[in-house]
Amino acid sequence: MSLHALQTRLVLEMIRTGRSGDVRLIHSWFSYYLPPEDRDNIRLNPELDGGSFWDGGVYPNSLAITLAGERAPRPVWGCRTSGRVA
């Protein structure tokens, strides 16, 4: 979804033309609310190996790879935060 957004195309153009300077860090974030009472949610099923990282994690990873010029960025780090939002 983010690969087709206007702002992504504009940032890619800035990178390609050198207007952004050297890209040294790409920090991308994707989040969604998963109600704790939704125990049957597919993203919480450990038998599917991957859960929310395979579901939502593809968006920031594909964006980072695209912005890095189709080269997989290194290192890649991910985390999961769970708990109540105040």
pLDDT in the model for residue 31: 77
pLDDT tens-digit readout, 18-47: 998 888 888 877 777 778 788 788 777 777
37 assigned to some structural domain: no
> What's the per-residue H, E or C state across 34-74?
CCCCCCCCHHHCHHHCCHHHHHCCHHHHHHHHHHCCCCCCC
Per the structure, the count of domains in the chain is 1
pLDDT in the model for residue 6: 94
Using an 8 Å Cβ cutoff, are 3 and 62 in contact? yes
Domain that holds residue 12: 1-29+48-81
86 assigned to some structural domain: no
30 or 12: which leads in pLDDT = 12
Joined tokens for residue 86: 């105040």
Q: pTM for this one?
A: 0.63
60 assigned to some structural domain: yes
Mean pLDDT of the chain, nearest integer: 79
43 assigned to some structural domain: no
Strand residues in 1-86 grouped as ranges (E):
none
62 assigned to some structural domain: yes
34 assigned to some structural domain: no
